[in-house]
Amino acid sequence: MILATDWVRLLIVCVVFTAAAGAIAWFAGLATPKPFLKAAARAALQLAAVSAVITFVLTHLGLTWAFLGVMAVVATATSARRTGAGRKGVWVALSILVGAVPALGLLLAIGLLPVQGIALIPVGGILIGGAMTATTLSARRALDTFRDRHGEYEAARAMGFGERDAVCLIIRHPAAEALLPPLDQTRTVGLVTLPGAFVGMLLGGAPVWQAGALQIVVLLALLAVEAAAVATVVELVARGLIRRPSQDS
């Protein structure tokens, strides 16, 4: 049971960290404190809401799948907004799901992941969240590069390149930078970071070897999911399916 004093300490720590993030960004000229305050408030409200319903959701498989669907919709909306692609941002759903769905299906098919809410929601959330991050970063880099190096695109077209090939020529490598965070996380796991799946299983009383085995599977699945997301983003941008309104021809 959590005592009132524990809640007070929790609140104080949360306020301090949020204020520190906003203040540092403001004084360094990186951003205003507003996005940090909004993110913290949303996180608190959303976690409170999820905590209130998660037990019920976990005991009903149909609701578990519905909850994963909500995760995918929110991830799509978030990534689409970040890319600034307007209505065309709906296409980011493809890059988010193209890797996450098969990866989750494979884990279920071979029996490494039980068909239970307690396993599906955290692992599905990790995969969808990773795909969302990779999609957002790669799409922003690709669209920014297409804008800044449009002259190179025109030159490639003048040399006989098709539209898709000309766009791919200039955006492929910048978009691939979105893979650096998951690559670094995988390379340094156990030395720099102890990811959530590993720590959660240890806290739940699982053997260390079992926690490590699950974590390596999740990390490698995440690599595949994020690589698929970035590759799909490159293809969608190259084909003109993801473009900012100002970049539509």
Which phi and psi angles does 200 have, rounded to 5°? -60, -40
DSSP 191: T
- Residue 211: the pLDDT is 66
- What gap in Å lies between CA 142 and CA 148, rounded to an integer? 10
Nearest to 168 by CA among 232, 72, 213: 232
| Range from 96-100, 166-170, 206-210, 239-243 carrying the lowest mean pLDDT | 206-210
pLDDT at 249: 58
pLDDT tens profile 191-230: 777 666 665 655 566 666 666 777 788 889 999 999 999 9
Please, which residues have CB within 8 angstroms of residue 64's CB and are 6 or more apart in sequence?
57, 58, 116, 117, 120, 121
Average pLDDT of the residues in 227-235: 96
Which residue has better confidence, 216 or 98?
98
Distances from the Cα of 248 to the Cα of 76, 82, 86, 112, 140, angstroms:
21, 18, 11, 45, 15
Q: Which residue has the higher pLDDT, 72 or 117?
A: 72
Structure confidence at residue 51 (pLDDT): 79
Alpha-carbon gap, residue 241 to 10, rounded angstroms:
45
Q: Calculate the average pLDDT of the chain.
A: 87
Residue 66, token pair as written in the block: 């519905």
The domain limits of the chain are 1-58, 60-247
pLDDT of residue 74: 94
pLDDT tier at 95 (50, 70, 90 boundaries)? very high
3-class DSSP state for residue 193? strand
Percentage of the chain with pLDDT > 90? 55
Instruction: Summarize the confidence of residues 98-109 as an average pLDDT.
Output: 94
Residue 248 has a pLDDT of 64
24-33, 50-59, 111-120, 145-154: least confidently modelled range: 50-59
